[in-house]
Amino acid sequence: MTVTSESVAVGTTIPTRTLTITRETVAMFCGAALDFVGPHISERIARSVGLPDVIAHRALITAKALIPVTEWTGDPAAVVACHSRYIRPVAVPDDDLGAVVVITGVVTDRPDDDHVEVSLRMASPDGQELALIRAVVRLP
């Protein structure tokens, strides 16, 4: 779907998406992001620094959170700025499912005719808040 300048206002919600992050996702992102820091590749190292399990990269969390925004606008270049606050680490279990994250978003500001601010919340299926992202999006 594609949003238009006329169809959006403060309070407009973007379609909720449920996405998964598996160990394979994290491994692929290690290579793509050139970030092989221990807690992303080893449960043993993750636990040694007090983390519950292998964790997803922060940039991967933001990238996942922005997927529904990109689907909403139709152009990934529409995201001109984003501010991510990482509330809890996203632990990725070594199983077939991985971490399930639910992304909700709502338009919270319209600074000018061409831009909106979208506030995104990533949470676990049981409602634990994982990350809060505010994105400034250029409208078509």
Partner 1 sequence: MGLNREYIGRTWRSAEVYEVSREKIRDYAMATGEPHPAYVDVRAARALGHPDVVAPPTFATVLWARMNTWPLREPDIGRSPKPNMVIGDERITHHRTIHAGDRLVFATRVNDIRDLGGKHELLEVVHTITTEDGEPVCTMTDMAISRGTAVGAEGAR
Report the nearest approach of partner 1 to the CB of residue 128 (Å): 17
Q: Does 99 bind partner 1 (CB under 8 A)?
A: no
CB 75 within 8 A of CB 140: yes
- Site size toward partner 1 (CB under 8 A) is 39
Q: Does 100 bind partner 1 (CB under 8 A)?
A: no
Q: Does 107 bind partner 1 (CB under 8 A)?
A: no
CB 132 within 8 A of CB 116: no
How far apart (Å, rounded) are the C-alpha atoms in residues 125 and 65? 15
Extract the runs of DSSP E, i.e. beta strands, from 1-140.
13-21, 79-86, 99-112, 115-123, 129-138
List helix spans (H) across 3-129: 23-33, 43-48, 58-73
Q: Does 97 bind partner 1 (CB under 8 A)?
A: no
Q: Does 98 bind partner 1 (CB under 8 A)?
A: no
What are the residues binding partner 1 (CB under 8 A)?
19, 25, 28-29, 31-35, 37-39, 45, 48-50, 58-60, 62-64, 66-67, 70, 74-77, 79-86, 89, 135
